[in-house]
Amino acid sequence: MPDKPIFPTPQDAESAFYEALERADLEGMMAVWAEDEDIVCVHPGGARLVGYAAVRDAWRRIFAGGARLRVRISHPTSTQNPFTALHTVIEHVSVRDDESVRAPVVATNVYVRGALGWRMLAHHASPAPPDSDSDAPKKTLH
């Protein structure tokens, strides 16, 4: 097995995550994740997946479905300290060759810094409300 890439910044890890998602590249996807039993992934409308094996199996099943996705990111926010980074984005997901099938998603990505650079610790994605692209102030319900 080739050596895992080193991601010098959380932004590098995030770019690799979305590139692997668009390529349906399981090995590339899992190279971004920390090899830790505490990793967590929640796909839109899905259950909370905990642990490397569960996260890998979910991505394997998604990629095996055959749909090639295109993801455009907007409205990024980030906060970082020396060992953790928290990013939020709006993911505009569409099926390649059919831009009419779109699903905006609100995502939170958490990265940790270790001896081999930055790795994803958590990815939580939820369906976005219809006005997600709006810069108008939002009303908070809780």
**Tens of pLDDT, residues 70-129:** 899 999 999 999 999 999 999 998 887 666 667 789 999 999 999 889 999 999 999 988
| pLDDT at 133 (0 to 100) | 56
Mean residue pLDDT across the chain? 88
The fraction of the chain above a pLDDT of 90, given in percent, is 70
pLDDT at 2 (0 to 100):
55
**40-42 and 69-80 beta bridge pairing:** unpaired
DSSP-assigned letter for residue 51: S
What pLDDT sits at residue 136?
44
Q: Which two tokens stand for residue 76?
A: 């990024």
Q: What pLDDT does 68 receive?
A: 84
CA distance 29 to 59: 8
Nearest in space to 29 (alpha carbons), one of 9, 15, 42: 15
- HSE at residue 61, side-chain half, CA atoms within 13 A, is 8
Q: Is residue 4 over pLDDT 90?
A: no
Residues linked to residue 68 through DSSP beta bridges, in sequence order: none
pLDDT tens-digit map of 20-39: 999 999 999 999 999 989 99
User: Going from the N-terminus, what domains does the chain have, and what CATH number goes with each?
Assistant: 10-127 (3.10.450.50)
- The predicted-structure confidence for 35-53, as pLDDT tens digits, reads as follows 989 999 999 999 999 999 9
